[in-house]
Chain A
Amino acid sequence: MSGAFRLAGRGCIDTTRPVVFRFDGRMVRGYAGDTVASALLAEGRHLMGRSFKYHRPRGPVSAGSDEPNALIGVGEGGRYTPNLRATQVEIHDGMVAVSQNRAPSLRFDIGALNTLAAPLLPAGFYYKTFMWPRRFWDKVYEPLIRRAAGLGRAPTAPDPDHYALHYAHCDVLVVGGGPAGLAAALAAGQVGARVILCDENAEFGGSLLADTYSLIDGLACGEWVARIVAELERLPNVQLLTRCSAFHYGPHNMVALNQRLSDHLATPPADMPRERIWQVRACEVVLAAGALERALVFEGNDRPGIMLASAARAYLHRYGVACGRKAVVVTADDAAYRVALDLAEAGVKIAAIADLRPTPGGPLVEAARARGIEVLPATTIQRAHGHLRVTGAELAPVGADGTVGKGWRVSCDLVLMSGGFTPSLHLHSQARGALRFDDALGVYLPGESIERVRSAGSCRGVFALDDVLRDGVAAGLAAAGGEIGPAWTVMRQDAPGTGGFAGALPRRGPGHLALAFVDFQNDVTAKDVKLAVREGFRSIEHVKRYTTTGMATDQGKGSNVNALAIVSNVLGRRPEEIGLTTYRPPYTPVTFGAFAGHARGDQFDPLRLPPMDAWARAQGAVFEDVGPWRRARYFPRAGEDMAVAVARECRAVRAVAGIFDASTLGKIEVAGPDAAEFMNRFYVNAWTKLGVGKCRYGLVCRDSGFVYDDGVVGRIAADRFHVTTTTGGAAGVLNMMEDYLQTEWPDLDVWLTSITEQWAVIALQGPRARDILAPLVDGLDISAGAMPHMTLREGTIGGVPMRLFRVSFTGELGYEINVPSSQAQAVWDRVWEAGAAFGVTPYGTEAMHVLRAEKGYLIVGQETDGTMTPGDVGCSWAVSKVKPDFIGKRALALPALNAPDRLQMVGVLTEDPRLVLEEGMQLVPAADSPVPTSAEGHVTSSYFSPALDRSIAIAMVKGGRARMGTSLYAPSLDGSAVKVMLVDPVFYDPEGARLNG
């Protein structure tokens, strides 16, 4: 047997399968079935970590997921995971684990000097100590705190594993596989319900795994668990999930589970996900979450070697480990007596049982006395001695009035504490279940919930094993709608304990309790909690935030009830008058990898590719993301940077022609007998008089009067419009159209169809566009007379169906060739070949932006920000004056939307024609405007214009249209300011001669 504290013949570990792993670089031997904590304890080692704030040496308090102290980092490189509970991490060969928050070593830690500074780090120290002087915060306090405080470090390499997400439905979800959960799952499964049973541990059994006393149907607890699990496995309608924590209870019985699949395996299959999130929608939920033993709050209660009594029992019976040689038991509950008896039977010396109760009695107490264990009634613990390991306990008598007499020291290497058991209410509370305080038990129990949920077993205060099993069966049957369930005879069991204690233990004299910890993980002491109340915090939620008690990764599992009792005592009010803090998900920490699931890298977001994406890549285009689209930004030639390439593309469009993939434009077909009326009501423009074959620039406002989207609309037929939207606005415009059509105007007979993906758009823009296109369109007459600006024709291009729009977003003669996406590349190739003789040039989104800015065309979302009216952006001409109503009409008449000092779109020119302003720059009245000063406006678009051979910009300026010809200043962060002139925003060809050519 490896490990001096390993006991032969005990525990559920497999001693035929030794396992070797590393902890802080040192080889540790354990067995299959061990956790990191049990393997280290088998070597007699309790010290496993340093605390968050004071770097106090810490060892495990528990044997499960409620562990606050023994947090370790596990794995290497990208597989490193910090802050795992050593009490849950299963060992395997080759595993590498490290302790955290210590420097240079766990045994000698210079950060532990923080303990000496404890008086300087009282409750709320974040809020008061470091607030002043201000300049000290960035330079001194914050780096100091960041270095000194904290948990594990984040991994530095990308996570090489993959994580899965699974949706599931069931009739009954049972959370927790202890006696109540097993009974509930079997009862529900046997009547045919689809059942999912999950448990956070590696095996089912819960408290029964550490119970060698009780007998069920003549079977030891472990044998009974194996029998029930085997019965459940035989039921095809039952799904069993171990290593699977229910961490979130959402509305409508949606429960999230986190299943750990591969971390316990030395060589997991390559295709196995590391973890899986289950999103379970359950008709009914049975919570069998169990109860957690409470720590006692006394001076030095955090020394390694001080742990919950039930934990020592679990280490003994599950792992065959004695947690010490000589133990002092301090309790207010009967259950710790069974622990003392089990340990004594295993050869651990029980120095004394100090019982806080004045007259403990009953079979367990008698059994302890009969065994020769010294039982000390009305006795408390004053403090623990020792540093890296507890060396003794100072016990003292406590009177009925709470006064404490003179104490004496008992040497020991283990202190076991039990303040009684707190039902786990986390999931019940997340299910918006009410809580009620039970005076007899001194704890909160689950009350009514609005969800289809019920609790069973000790999580609702039912503690005796036979009652627990009956409760589980009843809950399973009720959830599944069954009547007859399994029954077992419990032939031997301990009576449920009475008593219990919460809060700080009584002390002799004016003890300050500075190192009596309430929340181990966040280093919150009883003194901190009392101080918070004295400083005026009354709400338990405020005390929580001020002291940070219950805010660590263990979510206050072990600390909340003690904190509540301390507040209750100081205020002299009953606990139920104070209430509990809100239980928040997750119940136990969940890795980012599990939450991300497959949504990483290329899978993070869907990528939309326009039809000519492959062509653009072959041309060496540089791309940019535009919403979900990846679009070609520019097409550099050898040696060109972006500025040079974009300038060349712009010049080519203005001199010859450019070709551009505009397929990302949103496109909606509006059809039906009432299509024109719908358009009239939806757009600010008038549509009745727009003839078939004609196009119009359309502007959409919200009913608030603010510009929402824009785009060219073509009339295909009397009852059919081809609407285009901005690239980013397509989905929103269609949703808004559906909203008004379905909810405001159900009288209109109109159909709306998204055609964005169906119609690809090839923009051909430039003075030679017609010459290139004319021979390709199968006889369609596109001469200037036959097809003027803002018209559309249906036809074919090389036999491919086509909607040809003569429109321009460049200011040049231009066409937008709409063809079915599936044939777009072929059409593009034909246009490209035909244009080669002319020198047609592909251009990207950057040149498109420059060309439109030269013409003063706005981009919704760049010039506008959701508070601009059509008038603000110079589009009053588009707003119908005669329509009785349209979206935004009433609002556009509000005085505030017509105020003369509204931001208005203007052009901006710098004195230095080479200087390109930053987009987003504020514009102020004077070069030396005081700081702070109110801005007169801001720059929305700014480029170098090849056509003008100078910089240009567009800005939104208060009352801007009336201020053209005046100047403002654009200040930089370095304090300098650039003088700018406000001008008309149409910089190029203001007469429009080119686009009408």
Chain B
Amino acid sequence: MLLIDCPYCGPRAEIEFAYGGEAHIARPAADVSEAEWSAFLYLRDNTKGVLAERWRHSHGCGRFFNALRDTRTDQFHAFYEIGMPRPDVRDAV
């Protein structure tokens, strides 16, 4: 069980959180092309390495936030608020 550091509540066990998929996927305006909208819906990077992803502290404060997690090791490198830019973390492993 992961240990997740909610930016609002501090470190809590994974069981308190809900996963929210890849972060920084901007929802396009409604007038984009079919290809752009389909990419928004379905295309993800499937990162092997450091992935920016969304979590929600659903059984705590209820807030969404972003995290950088290495998908190879499950190690977190950063937790940050929605709307903040992705921190500059290189693939460490």
Contacts and interface: CB of A to CB of B under 8 A. Distances in A.
Interface of A: 250-254, 279, 281, 432, 450, 703-704, 735, 738-739, 742-744, 746, 884-885, 889-891, 894-895
B37 to A, nearest CB: 5
Interface in B9-62: 13, 18, 20, 27-32, 34, 37-38, 40-41, 54, 56, 58, 62
Nearest to A884: B30
Contacts of B1: 250-252, 254, 279
8 contacts: A252-B1, A253-B3, A254-B1, A735-B18, A735-B56, A738-B56, A739-B64, A894-B38
Interface string B59-86: 0001110000000011100000011000
B30 A885 contact: yes
Nearest to B66: A743
Contacts of B74: 251-252, 432
Contacts of A250: 1
Contacts of B38: 894
A891 B41 contact: yes
Contacts of A253: 3
Contacts of A252: 1-3, 74-75
A744 B27 contact: yes
A704 B40 CA distance: 10
B89 interface: no
The 6 A-B pairs at the shortest CB distance, nearest first, are namely A251-B74, A252-B3, A885-B30, A890-B30, A742-B64, A450-B73
A743 B21 CA distance: 13
Contacts of A738: 56, 62, 64
Most buried by B among A735, A739, A743: A743
Contacts of A889: 30
A157 to B, nearest CB: 32
Nearest to A740: B27
A740 to B, nearest CB: 9
A345 B74 CA distance: 54
Most buried by A among B27, B29, B54, B82: B27
Nearest to B70: A450
B22 to A, nearest CB: 12
Contacts of A254: 1, 3
Nearest to B83: A746
Contacts of B64: 738-739, 742-743
B32 to A, nearest CB: 7
B41 A885 contact: no
Contacts of A895: 34
A210 B63 CA distance: 56
A738 B63 CA distance: 8
B37 A891 contact: yes
A281 B83 CA distance: 31
Given A251-B1, A884-B30, A890 B37 contact: yes
Contact of B2 (A251, A744, A890): A251
A254 B74 CA distance: 12
A744 B82 CA distance: 10
Given A252-B74, A703-B27, A744-B27, 10 more contacts: A251-B1, A253-B3, A279-B1, A281-B3, A742-B64, A743-B64, A885-B29, A885-B30, A890-B30, A890-B31
Contacts of B28: 890
Nearest to A281: B3
Given A739-B56, A742-B82, A743-B54, A890 B75 contact: no
Nearest to A895: B34
Given A252-B74, A738-B62, A703 B3 contact: no
Contact of B82 (A735, A746, A890, A891): A746
A448 to B, nearest CB: 10
A894 B30 contact: no
A704 B41 contact: yes
A185 B86 CA distance: 41
B31 to A, nearest CB: 8
A743 B62 CA distance: 12
A754 to B, nearest CB: 10
A703 B25 CA distance: 13
Most buried by B among A281, A889, A890: A890
B29 A739 contact: no
A283 B92 CA distance: 21
A250 B2 CA distance: 8
Contact of B20 (A432, A739, A885): A739
A422 to B, nearest CB: 26
B73 A432 contact: yes
A746 B63 CA distance: 12
A340 B73 CA distance: 46
A310 B56 CA distance: 53
Nearest to B34: A894
Contacts of A704: 41
A944 B86 CA distance: 58
Contacts of B54: 743
B58 A735 contact: yes
A894 B93 contact: no
Contacts of A739: 20, 56, 64
Contacts of A742: 63-64, 82
A475 to B, nearest CB: 22
A597 to B, nearest CB: 14
A703 B30 CA distance: 10
Nearest to A739: B64
A278 to B, nearest CB: 13
Nearest to B36: A890
A395 to B, nearest CB: 50
Contacts of A890: 28, 30-32, 37
Most buried by B among A746, A891, A895: A891
Nearest to A704: B41
